[in-house]
Structure 1
Amino acid sequence: MGKIDLITIILIAANVIISYKGFSDYSFFEKYKFNVGAVKRGEQIRLFSSGFLHADNAHLFFNMFTLFFFADVVIKAMGTFSFVIVYVGSLLLGSLLSLYFHKNEYHYSAVGASGAVSGIIYSAILLQPGMSLYMFFIPIPIPAYLFGIGYLLYSIYGMKNRIGNIGHDAHFGGAVGGYVITLILAPWLFKTNLLMIGLLALPIVLLYVLKRMGKM
């Protein structure tokens, strides 16, 4: 990888600083986390602020590690401004999907940059489907699209089993956001990467089917 872009550094720093503030300040965490009841009472800021809080160090590290690897691909292909649109748009769509899924659960809460990061993953893979990643102790390169699809399949598992205080629903809203926003900003992908567009739609379709069947 080349030199990390300034906007990526700023986003990672913001997530780390705000998350650590939340780790040590319970009232701060409670005030800015995503909570259905609070959002319905008019605290819409939570739809955005919850994307900079995390449940614990592992949650924070995984999201920032993933953002670090995928952000540069989007920035180089579409520029900083488009990257920010994808990031913020995916974050908000992730929160809105969580609100939709849990609209009658007034105590439902969640935190994390998962929506924004999922959007960046999907955007990066659409823009550069042939890239590979070396992950931790796995000595062979992993196709990025497999990582992206696996990330969302894990999200389905997390949503079904309510794992942790993590916005697994937001993974999907974010993925849809990154998917749609990138295709709007880079419509030439329909000519060059049509197969990848179809593959990345599969987890989204799976979620829709499970929801329709009442299994989510």
Structure 2
Amino acid sequence: MESWILRPYRIARDHSQWYRFLTSGFLHADWGHLFFNMIAFYSFGGLVLSVLANGTGAPGLDGFGGIGGIWRFLLLYLGGIIVSDIPTYFRHRDDRSYGSLGASGGVASVLFAGVVFAPLNKIYLMFLPPQLGIPGFIFGFLYLAYSYYQGRRQGDNINHDAHFYGALYGVVLTLIFMPQAGIEFARQISTFLKTII
């Protein structure tokens, strides 16, 4: 645990420890932390990998084939773990006791790629009845707002910045891979809003 956890203070003073940006994503505080990360990863990973490999059938959203889809998916997930911790590093590099672990940045990256690809798919939260599913784009907005707010507060021993920046990384990288996905995202939301107004 101590060899792999993200320790910004140590990294800033020993540049040979940059590997912690990645290895910290393979550690979890407890079984509950691991379970929640992996259930979210499982829930969105299949959709995202399928779209990256096979496309969606919508114009301009062709996939990249099996190998092309897999390496883009890995870049999304593993890159999300690394990139989401960069702001944490700069924020805590002088805090001797700060440590962070978990795959939340990578999971948020995959989750938000799924929201870009299927913004109207409902997201169901555990312990709530199935009738309370939230359209993905609304959930995404609420998730970002909550993560940003909690990241500023820093009161609960959770790295909310990793959630926030992992999600942003997922959206940006998805749009780099498939720019047309942004247009399709806007089209689906526009159609949805017309049906409720």
Instruction: Output the TM-score relative to the length of structure 1.
Output: 0.71
**Structure 2 counterpart of 1:161, which letter?**
Q
The 1:56–1:147 alpha-carbon spacing in structure 2 relative to 1, beyond 3 Å, is farther
The 1:134–1:170 alpha-carbon spacing in structure 2 relative to 1, beyond 3 Å, is closer
Distance 1:71 1:126 in 2: 13
Pick aligned residue for 1:44 from 12, 18, 37: 18
1:91-134: CA deviations, max 9, x gaps?
11111121122233233211111100111111110011111133
Deviation (angstroms), 1:142? 2.1
The 1:146–1:61 alpha-carbon spacing in structure 2 relative to 1, beyond 3 Å, is farther
The 1:112–1:181 alpha-carbon spacing in structure 2 relative to 1, beyond 3 Å, is same
Instruction: State the partner residue of 1:106.
Output: 96
Instruction: State the partner residue of 2:115.
Output: 125
- Of residues 96-105 and 108-117 in structure 1, the stretch that sits farther from structure 2 once superposed is 96-105
Pick aligned residue for 2:155 from 152, 157, 162: 162
Matched, 1:62 2:36: yes
Pick aligned residue for 2:129 from 125, 138, 143: 138
Instruction: State the partner residue of 2:177.
Output: 185
Deviation (angstroms), 1:195? 7.0
1:29-84: CA deviations, max 9, x gaps?
11110111221212011100001111122211111111111111111111222211
Distance 2:141 2:34 in 1: 20
Matched, 1:34 2:27: no
Deviation (angstroms), 1:148? 2.9
Matched, 1:175 2:149: no
Greater relative contact order, per chain length (Cα 8 Å cut-off, separation 6+): 2
Distance 1:49 1:195 in 2: 39
Distance 1:134 1:32 in 2: 33
The 1:161–1:183 alpha-carbon spacing in structure 2 relative to 1, beyond 3 Å, is same
| Structure 1 alignment gaps of length 5 or more | 1-28, 198-216
| Structure 2 alignment gaps of length 5 or more | 54-69, 190-197
Conservation of the 8 A alpha-carbon contact between 1:51 and 1:113:
yes
Instruction: State the partner residue of 1:85.
Output: 75
Distance 1:129 1:177 in 2: 17
Distance 1:104 1:171 in 2: 22
Deviation (angstroms), 1:146? 2.9
Conservation of the 8 A alpha-carbon contact between 1:112 and 1:167:
no
**Structure 1 counterpart of 2:129, which letter?**
I
Q: What secondary structure, in the 3-state scheme, does the structure 2 residue paired with 1:109 have?
A: coil
Instruction: Output the TM-score relative to the length of structure 2.
Output: 0.77
Give the root-mean-square deviation of aligned CA atoms. Answer: 2.0
